[in-house]
A and B are shown apart, each in its own frame.
Chain A
Amino acid sequence: MDTLIKELKEEIINELNLEDLTPDDIDADAALFGDGLGLDSIDALSLIVILEKKYGLKIGNPDDGKEIFRSIRSIAEFIKANKK
């Protein structure tokens, strides 16, 4: 799980151009959207792309992503539960 979390952090920093951050700066349980990391609807779409490209997991409707993208940990849990 910890490896997955670290990998996800790196992936997100890279894909969302969060250049100033290191994986250690992101709390796995902090909110990604709103007051936390301050991501927005466009980032949610980028996260959908990461999940499908990297982990083969498809999210058809952006609204379904809301729960999954709550935090890094919730994404990791989703991947763990669904990855074949």
Chain B
Amino acid sequence: MKIFIKGIGSISPQNTIQNTLIDADIIQHHTEYLKCIEPVYKNYINPVSLRRMSRIVKMGVTAAQLCLKDANLTNTDAIITATGLGCIEDTENFLNSIIANEEKLLNPTPFIQSTHNTVGSQIAIILKCNNYNATHVHKGSSFESALMDALLLMKENEANNVLLGSSDEMTPNLFKITQRLNLWKKEPINHLKLSECKTKGSIAGEGAAFFALTNEANTSNYAVINALDVFYKPATNDAIDQRISLFLANNQLKTDEIDLVVYGINGDVKSDGIYNHLMESVFNKSTSTYYKHLCGEYHTSTSFAMWLSSIILKNQVVPNIIKLNNQPIKPINNILIYNHYLNKNHSLILLSKC
């Protein structure tokens, strides 16, 4: 069975609401972390639902709405969401209120909206969708875990279409905490040149991206999801090489058939070594690209990479802003997304032209 991407929706630190990424429209942020360009939510969510939603929920629900509209669907056979840290703003609000009020007379709203499944369940409530609904929360492989769930569900014939997506938000407090954990660069940088950085730390970001998956072929589909592999704490770079070789072999592909690779380069010298190694060895004939300079680093950033790959496969245009080498652009049939989060959670996503 082939599984297609029928529709997409993305809210990110770039202008992605129209499902385009245009070189002339790239936004350079001058803030400590990359914050999403957000639409007027009233245009997408009714006021009664909207009033209790924190930013991440608005972002997730709206990206889901954009995606369904793009896919021309009004409902779905399943809703599968992912988030690394969930509803941080509401979690902070409730913690603040516990401390400020000494555990007395607390408004319950931030608590009930703080659970990790809030985005998934709010989408279900809005769509009145009683079908399968799950939320995956495994750090740097949360989105991949949700994607795995979606692929299984369709292979089991439990769903003909699945609404799959992820959302993660950055807040000033979370930024401060993660900054103290040395996750981010100490010096000011131009994030659009992230791949050129040779220092420790990355740049923080956030985003929500949704996909309508279907088992129905259609010329308007964006891409085919061919395969997914998730692995944990590989011992060495050799182990990663082997895993990639095996992954390609299992999918009857040679390395030179991977026309374009999307790397999870995040500008951190501690993380980027493996990407540079792959670029110069196994995939030296492929077009090399990356994406975290556009959306920043966050747990579910691969959903942004999958959104980006979807539009590349459909439009056969590679924005200059993502290119890392000058390989002549051939027709793009196969895209491999390879990402890892803090050298722990690694993933490979293989997408192909319809």
Contact = CB atoms under 8 A, between A and B. Distances in A.
B251 interface: no
A49 B106 CA distance: 7
Interface string B20-53: 0000000000000000000000000001100110
A29 to B, nearest CB: 21
Contacts of A38: 48
Contacts of A52: 105
Contact of A19 (B48, B51, B105): B51
Interface in B102-119: 105-109, 112
B108 A16 contact: no
Nearest to A45: B108
A53 B48 CA distance: 25
A62 to B, nearest CB: 11
Contacts of B105: 49, 52-53
A30 interface: no
Contacts of B112: 42
B169 to A, nearest CB: 18
Nearest to B101: A53
Contact of A20 (B47, B52, B108): B47
Contacts of A45: 107-108
B108 A46 contact: yes
B108 A42 contact: yes
Contacts of B106: 49
Nearest to A21: B47
B107 A49 contact: yes
Interface in B141-180: none
Contacts, number: 22
A49 B105 CA distance: 6
Nearest to B47: A20
A7 interface: no
B107 A18 contact: no
A15 B52 contact: no
Interface in A13-62: 15-20, 38, 42, 45-46, 49, 52-53
A46 B107 contact: yes
Contacts of A17: 51-52
A15 B107 CA distance: 9
A9 to B, nearest CB: 15
A28 B109 CA distance: 24
Contacts of A49: 105-107
A6 B48 CA distance: 22
B38 to A, nearest CB: 16
A52 B101 CA distance: 13
Nearest to B42: A20
Interface string A51-83: 011000000000000000000000000000000
Nearest to A15: B107
Contacts of A15: 107
A19 B86 CA distance: 25
Nearest to A20: B47
22 contacts: A15-B107, A16-B51, A17-B51, A17-B52, A18-B51, A19-B51, A20-B47, A38-B48, A42-B52, A42-B108, A42-B109, A42-B112, A45-B107, A45-B108, A46-B107, A46-B108, A46-B109, A49-B105, A49-B106, A49-B107, A52-B105, A53-B105
Interface of A: 15-20, 38, 42, 45-46, 49, 52-53
- The 4 A-B pairs at the shortest CB distance, nearest first, are namely A17-B51, A45-B108, A49-B105, A46-B107
Given A18-B51, A46-B107, 14 more contacts: A15-B107, A17-B51, A19-B51, A38-B48, A42-B52, A42-B108, A42-B109, A42-B112, A45-B107, A46-B108, A46-B109, A49-B105, A49-B107, A53-B105
